[in-house]
Chain A
Amino acid sequence: MEKLGINVYLLGLQILHFVLLLVLLRALLYKPILGFMQKRTEQIRSSMAEADKVRQQAAAERATLESQIAEERRTSQDRLRQAVARGEEAADRRLAEATAEAEQLLARARAEAEQTRAQALAGMQNDIAELALLAAGKVLGEAIDAGKHRKLVDGFLSQKLGELA
């Protein structure tokens, strides 16, 4: 034992030294470092849980928003469709109204034109009859009965003008 240097006092001193070093390092190094590592682990774990929660919330919000967007899109398409239908309906109505109005205007114009023509024909008939009676009176010399011949000329002209019309 002596040749190997084993000494009871030194052995005891070494054991005492180890115990003291253990106590010292435990207080000075292991406790703070292990405590801090534990704290960091918990912080990371809670951060991860928080991140997971936020991710889930975001996913839920995204799903809600996507459904809202889909709903909005559907609504807007419906509105668009309705608006288009209403527009087409209004356009059709306006077209029908315009067509009817145009037809009315045409009919009125046609009636006015007819009336004007009839008036013109009547005027013309009268003038022609006047001229014919005058011309015939000039040729035959006062021998014409204005009333009797007038009726005759008017009848002739009415027939001819009626054919023209």
Chain B
Amino acid sequence: MGWLKSKKFWISLVVLAIMIASAFYIKVPLPHIQVPPETLFMVGPVPFTNTMLALLLADVVLIVMAFLATRKLEMVPRGLQNFFEIVIDFWQTQSLNHIGEKMTRAWLPLVLTVFFMVWFSNYSHFLPGFDTIGILCKAGECPGEPGAAHAAADDHAEEGAPAAESVAAAEGEEHAAPEGPAHTYFKVTDWNGIGLITERYPEDASEEEKHAEGRVLVPFLRVAASDLNMPLALALIAFLVIEFAGFKALGFGYLGKFFNFKEGGIMMGVGLLELVSEIMRIITFSFRLFGNVFAGQTLLFVFPFLVPALMVLPIYGLELFVGLIQSYVFAILILAFMQQAITAHHGPDHGDHAAEHH
């Protein structure tokens, strides 16, 4: 019975009790989960999404930190200068080990930017307000949706009119939920002019009711890498840079990796497989990052829905880890693939490191 006197036991019991009680008494609606990012506004044909805004926010944090770190450089580094020096020194060492000195001079800034951008944007997810604060709009009239301009014109025309009237006007024209991405409808209460989500409309509620009364949340901020465009853009840049480095190091001999007709049919097949895997890297690069971050975001949605209190904390810990690891993986893979690209592929007769000649 010694465990009854243990402080850890009682703390665990209290935590468990809070978690169970929260599951019964606190209702957290499951937010809308969708793969494409939500549009905040349109600039001509270009949608400005919440992931882009989050990315810019991460950029601002990064640039301000960089500015503060380099404002007054000291021989014995402290604070932010020390932080950036450690990270940059780490990547410089990695880069020197992988691609040599000359290539490092050329490509280290790119690798560092990938690392910092992914890392800071992943960690921005932990700021309060991400995915939870945004525009509450009617389905089909949210920013970037076909009815948005129409709704804006209506709002302007009926300034001060109750929301229900504009809802009715919209319904009169459409009579049903609009086409486009599936929406998740929330019940909203008004609190000093600010809409607060109380609960999610049940799935079995009629589309008309949901569309008339329900509101769709378009968050202002959403973690950037959960928008496939960001990892894909980075993957394309990485792909182009790796191929460019390969050509620069080996010249047209670089193509011999993929089109190897001199060493028989098997090697030709291997070369073609290499080519396919080379192109597939764009997909693996982008979906690895996207998958991890999107899954993390979904976990952070789902856990408070299942157990509102405390249960989400370990997931935050996990996401801290994943956010850093994914940025590391993306950057280190660029270096590793670049190393492969600049290395001649043949055996001992000319299997030397091409980078050493450059």
Q: CB within 8 Å of B: which residues of A?
A: 2-7, 9-11, 13-15, 17-18, 21-22, 24-26, 28-30, 32-34, 36-37, 40, 43
Contact = CB atoms under 8 A, between A and B. Distances in A.
B232 A33 contact: no
A2 B228 CA distance: 11
Contact of A9 (B45, B66, B227): B45
A37 B84 CA distance: 11
Interface SS of A by simple majority: helix
Contacts of A7: 36, 47, 229
Interface string B215-241: 000000000000111101110110000
B112 A30 contact: yes
A25 B66 contact: yes
Nearest to B227: A5
Contact of B85 (A21, A22, A33): A33
B59 interface: yes
Contact of B109 (A11, A30, A40): A30
Nearest to B113: A22
B198 interface: no
B157 interface: no
A6 B287 CA distance: 12
B268 interface: no
Contact of A29 (B46, B66, B92, B230): B66
A4 B228 contact: yes
A7 B47 CA distance: 9
A50 B277 CA distance: 53
Interface of B: 35-37, 45-47, 49, 52, 55, 59, 62-63, 66-67, 69-70, 73, 75, 81, 84-85, 88-89, 92, 108-110, 112-113, 116-117, 227-230, 232-234, 236-237
Q: Which of A9, A15, A28, A30 has the most CB of B within 10 A?
A: A30
B49 A18 contact: no
Nearest to A32: B70
21 contacts: A2-B36, A4-B35, A5-B36, A5-B37, A5-B228, A5-B229, A6-B229, A9-B45, A9-B47, A11-B233, A11-B236, A15-B236, A17-B52, A24-B63, A25-B63, A25-B66, A29-B84, A30-B108, A30-B112, A32-B73, A33-B81
Given A13-B52, A33-B70, A37-B89, A26 B109 contact: yes
B341 to A, nearest CB: 20
B46 A25 contact: no
A18 B234 contact: yes
The 4 A-B pairs with the shortest beta carbon distances in the complex, nearest first, are A5-B36, A14-B233, A29-B66, A10-B229
B221 to A, nearest CB: 16
Given A10-B52, A25-B62, A37-B88, A18 B229 contact: no
A4 B109 CA distance: 30
Given A9-B46, A30-B112, A17 B55 contact: yes
Contacts of B52: 10, 13-14, 17
A37 B85 contact: yes
Given A9-B47, A25-B62, A28-B66, A3 B109 contact: no
Given A4-B228, A6-B228, A10-B229, A15 B108 contact: no
Contacts of B113: 18, 21-22, 25-26
B131 to A, nearest CB: 15
A47 to B, nearest CB: 11
Contacts of B62: 25
A32 B67 CA distance: 10
A25 B45 contact: no
